[in-house]
Structure 1
Amino acid sequence: MEDTLVVGIDFGTTFSGVAAAYSANPESPDELHIIKTSVHWHVLSWASGRTLTDNRWPGGNNITSDKVPTEVAYGGHHTAASTSRTSGASLHGKRKFSAISGEQEKSKDGQMRWGLQIKPDEDRLRYLKLFLDPNQNIPDHMTLSDVRHQLMACGKNVPTIVAEYLGAVFAHTKVILGRRYGQDFVAATKLRVVLTVPAVWTDAAKDATFRAAEAAGMGDALAMISEPEAAAVYTLQAMQPNHLKIGHNFIVIDAGGGTVDLISYSINQLKPLRLEELAKGSGGFCGAAFLNVRFEQFVRTKLGKTAFTAICSSKPKSWLMALKYFEDYVKRNFDADEDDTFNIPFPGVEDNEKAGIEGGFLVMDTADVETIFRPVITDIISLVEGQIALLQGSGLEVHGLVLVGGFGQSECLLKSLQTRFSGGVRGIEVLQPVNAWTAVVRGAVLRGLEGAELVMSRKARRHYGVTCCRVFDARVHPHSCRIWDPLTERWMADDRMRWFIKKGDTVSSTDPVLFSFTHTFTANNTKTITEELIICDADEAPEGYSDAAASRTRIGCTMVVNLDSVPKKHWETSRNSRGQVYQRLHYTIGMQIESGGLRFEVLVDDVSFGKVKAEFS
């Protein structure tokens, strides 16, 4: 493989991270360039471990962090009235988000600030990642009206803002790489970017992420990998030796800020690593951000709604300081087995013994904090139980759980999983790599260095098919679907479904699934046609697209197929009884389910005639 600089980008719900490596001299999965935050920090070189200084995320000052907040700001600072909404728990709008288009008002300054450039009391757009899919259910704590207002104020839609954020991260990464290797070297060396996406996302959301990354200038050599898959790649290579071996089955739990993704794998080969996906992945909105939401609810209950609102209005920085301390210290260090007291700074707030406010501090004991953690952890445990049940239902044993992600660093979550799954007859080992927070981005780099598929087969998360006309058969088709085709002069059954991939099918990562088509054309017809890829999330897919049972059936994307380059020898010419000449072409569309999305190409008689453009709904 040509010497390449590989950049992994973990675009997260609450934080994003970057890692990089030069393909000519890799040694260890743990010795990656991790782009960090602070005035003076060191970057671990893949080969030599040499130190870089004076490298930082813009606005980082002396804060040290492996990741940067996934937040942008275009306007001014918070007003007193809006500050209480900063944690996103106050408003409950519609649970679908669709206002991702329409440029109406313009911000006064128009200057984007991102990550650590944003001041603590400044209004910002957050959770951008979740809004890339307009059809996605949004958790109750999201302040949708605030998001719509800010989109109108800056005159941009979500995909544009995501592209600008990713563009800023990527530009900064290239600056850091230039300092490490030299600008001339970086300019002359092939750059491959591997971007991570949630495994449970819709194909449309994955495509929206890919398009945003393209708009961010990430080049032609852009690939995507699912977050749990990237985490598995890193963990199994970095945590050697461990008890997992060929034939063992394990579940990756990627516990991030907004979402928790789970995928089950079997180890087919260790050197080089090759995996097989065992069950349909699952996930939910139960990441670490929900601890912030529950913390605000806890404080609001303690103080009373009126008093809490008054404090946020008159002393906004006091609440921001309390929330930041909870985020940076309590959330990251809480251990339910330790009898501890947390004194959370709440300056300027009057003493209130009943509420636990004393001397400018909010006093919380272990039991208080556990009331915040327990419901979120319970949701995660339920997801794990669901994955285990799927595997056991197929007669498979679970040998290990791999815990990664920002929330995956939590000692409380780790011990809860160990208590639930490691003891007794289950005896499932729970693995937590040292670099749990950056496991996904490290795995993305390793995937880029490998250059080959690491997961040899995947489980289809939904049905995939197309609508079609078949020759009418009264024994099979309802009379209501019968139509006359004047060109071929036959009765046809319209609106029938042909499902090429069924939910739960094992699909090869290297061999495309072939969708067969036959089209007829007259001399005046264009040779560019469109085919709609239909998807269905229900367990049982309907036979007809318009059937009542098709309520969960929808258009996944439109495949635009250009057949102009297909030579004449592949076309069949016919004439009907009215003397009308027409041509018929048999062709196939090959669809490949990759880690980060779908890829299509058109084939005629097993010869490829190029990629198929897919326009997602």
Structure 2
Amino acid sequence: MATSQGPDRIVIGVDFGTTFSGVAEGYSGTPVSADDVNVIKTWPGGKGISSDKVPSELVYDKTARGSATGADEADGWSMVMPDVFDVKDLQASLPTQRAEAEIAVRWGFQLRPDEARLRCMKLLLDPQQDSQLPSFVSKRDIKSQLSDSGKDAVGAVADYLRELYKHAIVELNKRYTTLFVENTNLQWVLTVPAVWSDTAKEATLTAAKKAGMGPDLKLISEPEAAAVYTLQAIQPNHLKVNDSFIVVDAGGGTVDLISYTIKQARPLRIEESVEGSGACCGAALLNAKFEEYVKSKLGNASFNRMCRKQEKTWRTALNYFEEYVKRNFDPTDMVDFNVPVPGLPDNEAAGVEQGFLTLSAVTVASMFKPIITEVIQLVEGQMGELRNRGKGVGGIILVGGFGQSRCLYTALNFQYGWNHLPKAMRVNVMQPANAWTAVVRGAVLRGLEGTELVVSRKSRRHYGIVMHEYFTPGIHPVSCKEWDTFKEVWMAKDRMRWFIEKGQTVSSAEPVLFSFTTEFWPVENKAMTQGLIVCDGEVAPVGYNKASSSTRVLCKMVVPLFGVPIHLWEARHNSQGQRYERLSFQLGMQVESGGLRFDMRVDGVVYGNVTATFD
């Protein structure tokens, strides 16, 4: 795979998920194909177990000092190293060591199964998603834990990402040597859901920068990353120019979908055909249903006692369900499962015998059915939108942790791809071998390539600004009438000008330009703050009302007008002979995979980047 021009660098992809997170990397100095991306598989607290991902869970230890990881490693060293080594010095030098004054953080596999923890933190970053937390997660408990630790959602996510960051550096040092890593540019590529709001993307970016993943940090949408990997990994895939396909990123907490159309095959270039959709119907709901089932069999008291006193028993059972049952259950092959529960006494009524719990195929099917049904409804929604726009569906790409499920693959294949359907109606369902890591692998490939994959995107909302326009009696309400001391005319205030409409196709290469004219008295500081207004409704209003729920301020843009040369300002005088200065300029808004980027330009020349502060 060709890489972009520039100094060699290590690209680190981070897939921060609702329930699990993954990290992968690739070096630009060596050609990297889809399956050559190196995925980190060992984690603190994992006790040597190999896993493509680590739980997105966090615990703050108020009374502990230092990192649990660092202490554990130092204790291990003290058992095997000669007395000549000072274990305290070694512990202090470990890269995961936290400062003495900080609250210690335990994360991922370091957590005990019976303790309360922060989980599904990712959903708290998006005000539009945090009300959609899975039923097994209490928003009240999460808020309480954040409050007790003196953290907000961004702070907690930053702490988790910091642990990922530090562990990634440890693994990079092992792979490339510390000297090489210290002298090589590191580029972090963090994935975000396609349905993420601009506010959530900015919050994610802020958390990642606090975690140390900067300054060369990029965001990319999860389905875009999955498409990059899958279309390279599955060859041939029978998709050609003008074919449309749906990416189904089925994770632990959420399932996100988006549809693309292939515009160019080599190099691959695609465009968004339908804006993203999604719901909280991920595979973690299966874990919750499995836990409910075991509780119903053992009884609440026995179940709680097992989690408290036989931690490894429940962890073994849950791991078996996670790694084997969820991934391998196939409704075309209804085979019962024997879930290991080592140490539990025989209980005929509960189905426990010789250290195994019988889990019938019928029971597993009942767990899957409502979740599969919701996923298919989401796919139907994307297909319906494609058909409404005159496009057919050439393929479905199934990725993510839940995307590895044979049951989900079989259900989608039966619904859309099997021979019982007329040939013209069949859709090729693609499930790459590395479905769980498709997103993080694609993030690395996208970072290495460096160029935009998606040539255009569908706007998920209306974007505009509040402005004044000339007052027209009978059209504008009298309440918005305001005198302009510069133009010396009556203007209508709080009018909306929408520059991007919901569902509009927006180029990834060219910015959308917002035209402005502003006036200043000579003694005034030439600073301008402009709010960017968004509307999620289908029809955007013509006027702005702060109290209305249909519109809101997405961010405030600070425009550096002081950088514009004096000769570009137009000198004017009002009827009183008072001199003022006028400037016509444009704000450029670039709609990128991971968010929005702004600049300010006069006569097509960019005079500075615009700083945006998101609410």
Specify the TM-score bucket, using the shorter chain as the normaliser.
Answer: 0.7 to 0.9
Structure 2 SS opposite 1:74: strand
Tell whether 2:398 aligns with 1:403: yes
Change (3 A) 1:301 1:485: farther
- Per the alignment, residue 254 of structure 1 pairs with 249
The structure 1 residue matched to 2:53, chosen from 63, 67, 92, is: 67
- Per the alignment, residue 192 of structure 1 pairs with 187
Q: Tell me how far 1:384 sits from its aligned partner.
A: 0.3
Deviates more, 1:592-601 or 1:328-337: 328-337
Deviates more, 1:164-173 or 1:532-541: 164-173
Trace 1:60-99 onto structure 2 (pairs within 5 A): 60-75=46-61
Tell whether 2:291 aligns with 1:296: yes
Q: Tell me how far 1:359 sits from its aligned partner.
A: 5.5
Structure 2 SS opposite 1:112: strand
The structure 2 residue matched to 1:212, chosen from 178, 200, 207, is: 207
Trace 1:385-400 onto structure 2 (pairs within 5 A): 385-400=380-395
Contact persistence 2:336–2:359 (CA under 8 A) = yes
CA distance in 1, matches of 2:229, 2:248: 13
Tell whether 2:106 aligns with 1:113: yes
Tell whether 2:268 aligns with 1:269: no
CA distance in 1, matches of 2:38, 2:312: 35
The structure 1 residue matched to 2:163, chosen from 143, 168, 185, is: 168
Deviates more, 1:390-399 or 1:137-146: 137-146
- Per the alignment, residue 448 of structure 1 pairs with 447
Contact persistence 1:460–1:504 (CA under 8 A) = yes
- Per the alignment, residue 124 of structure 2 pairs with 131
- Per the alignment, residue 533 of structure 2 pairs with 534
Q: After superposition, what is the alpha-carbon deviation per residue over 1:206-227, rounded to whole angstroms, capped at 9, x for unaligned?
A: 0111111111112221111100
Contact persistence 1:29–1:237 (CA under 8 A) = yes
Q: Tell me how far 1:123 sits from its aligned partner.
A: 3.1
Change (3 A) 1:76 1:121: farther
Tell whether 2:28 aligns with 1:23: yes
Change (3 A) 1:235 1:385: same
Q: Tell me how far 1:345 sits from its aligned partner.
A: 4.0
CA distance in 2, matches of 1:352, 1:20: 48
Q: Tell me how far 1:358 sits from its aligned partner.
A: 4.8
Q: CA RMSD in A?
A: 2.3
Deviates more, 1:209-218 or 1:324-333: 324-333
CA distance in 1, matches of 2:453, 2:553: 30
CA distance in 2, matches of 1:304, 1:173: 41
- Per the alignment, residue 90 of structure 2 pairs with none
Contact persistence 2:242–2:263 (CA under 8 A) = yes
Trace 1:26-37 onto structure 2 (pairs within 5 A): 26-37=31-42
- Per the alignment, residue 333 of structure 1 pairs with 328
Change (3 A) 1:563 1:158: same
CA distance in 2, matches of 1:236, 1:377: 24
Contact persistence 1:7–1:192 (CA under 8 A) = yes
- Per the alignment, residue 50 of structure 1 pairs with none
- Per the alignment, residue 562 of structure 2 pairs with 564
Trace 1:213-228 onto structure 2 (pairs within 5 A): 213-228=208-223
- Per the alignment, residue 92 of structure 2 pairs with none
Contact persistence 1:245–1:267 (CA under 8 A) = yes
CA distance in 2, matches of 1:251, 1:185: 40
Contact persistence 1:341–1:364 (CA under 8 A) = yes
- Per the alignment, residue 278 of structure 1 pairs with 273
Contact persistence 1:591–1:599 (CA under 8 A) = yes
Contact persistence 2:271–2:454 (CA under 8 A) = yes
- Per the alignment, residue 91 of structure 2 pairs with none
CA distance in 1, matches of 2:546, 2:122: 34
CA distance in 2, matches of 1:565, 1:234: 43
CA distance in 1, matches of 2:106, 2:344: 31
Structure 2 SS opposite 1:477: coil
Q: Tell me how far 1:467 sits from its aligned partner.
A: 0.9
Contact persistence 1:133–1:205 (CA under 8 A) = yes
CA distance in 2, matches of 1:65, 1:310: 28
- Per the alignment, residue 88 of structure 2 pairs with none
Tell whether 2:500 aligns with 1:501: yes
**What runs of 5+ residues in structure 2 fail to find an aligned partner?**
64-99
Change (3 A) 1:319 1:24: closer
- Per the alignment, residue 181 of structure 1 pairs with 176
Q: Tell me how far 1:327 sits from its aligned partner.
A: 2.3
- TM-score normalized with structure 2 length: 0.87
CA distance in 2, matches of 1:489, 1:145: 55
Name the aligned partner's letter for residue 36 of structure 1: K
Contact persistence 1:121–1:317 (CA under 8 A) = no
Tell whether 2:610 aligns with 1:612: yes
Name the aligned partner's letter for residue 124 of structure 1: R
The structure 2 residue matched to 1:596, chosen from 588, 594, 597, is: 594
Q: After superposition, what is the alpha-carbon deviation per residue over 1:555-587, rounded to whole angstroms, capped at 9, x for unaligned?
A: 111111121111111212222223333222111
Contact persistence 1:259–1:287 (CA under 8 A) = yes
Q: Tell me how far 1:117 sits from its aligned partner.
A: 2.3
CA distance in 2, matches of 1:228, 1:485: 48
Contact persistence 1:20–1:445 (CA under 8 A) = yes
- TM-score normalized with structure 1 length: 0.87
- Per the alignment, residue 236 of structure 1 pairs with 231
Deviates more, 1:359-368 or 1:183-192: 359-368
Structure 2 SS opposite 1:564: helix
CA distance in 2, matches of 1:212, 1:547: 29
**What runs of 5+ residues in structure 1 fail to find an aligned partner?**
38-56, 78-106
CA distance in 2, matches of 1:587, 1:200: 32
Structure 1 SS opposite 2:366: helix
CA distance in 2, matches of 1:336, 1:586: 65
CA distance in 1, matches of 2:15, 2:306: 36
Contact persistence 1:75–1:109 (CA under 8 A) = no
Change (3 A) 1:189 1:393: same
- Per the alignment, residue 372 of structure 1 pairs with 367
Name the aligned partner's letter for residue 537 of structure 2: A
Trace 1:475-490 onto structure 2 (pairs within 5 A): 475-490=474-489
Q: Tell me how far 1:434 sits from its aligned partner.
A: 0.6
Tell whether 2:377 aligns with 1:382: yes
The structure 2 residue matched to 1:287, chosen from 282, 289, 293, is: 282
Q: After superposition, what is the alpha-carbon deviation per residue over 1:436-481, rounded to whole angstroms, capped at 9, x for unaligned?
A: 1111111111111111101100110111111111111225323332
- Per the alignment, residue 156 of structure 1 pairs with 151
Change (3 A) 1:116 1:301: closer
- Percent of pairs identical after alignment? 55
Structure 1 SS opposite 2:552: strand
Change (3 A) 1:58 1:416: same
- Per the alignment, residue 511 of structure 1 pairs with 510
Q: Tell me how far 1:296 sits from its aligned partner.
A: 2.8
Q: Tell me how far 1:342 sits from its aligned partner.
A: 2.0
CA distance in 1, matches of 2:101, 2:176: 39
Deviates more, 1:424-433 or 1:304-313: 304-313
Q: Tell me how far 1:510 sits from its aligned partner.
A: 0.5
Q: Tell me how far 1:27 sits from its aligned partner.
A: 4.1
Structure 1 SS opposite 2:146: helix
CA distance in 2, matches of 1:109, 1:159: 17
CA distance in 1, matches of 2:113, 2:404: 25
Structure 1 SS opposite 2:562: coil
Contact persistence 1:75–1:123 (CA under 8 A) = no
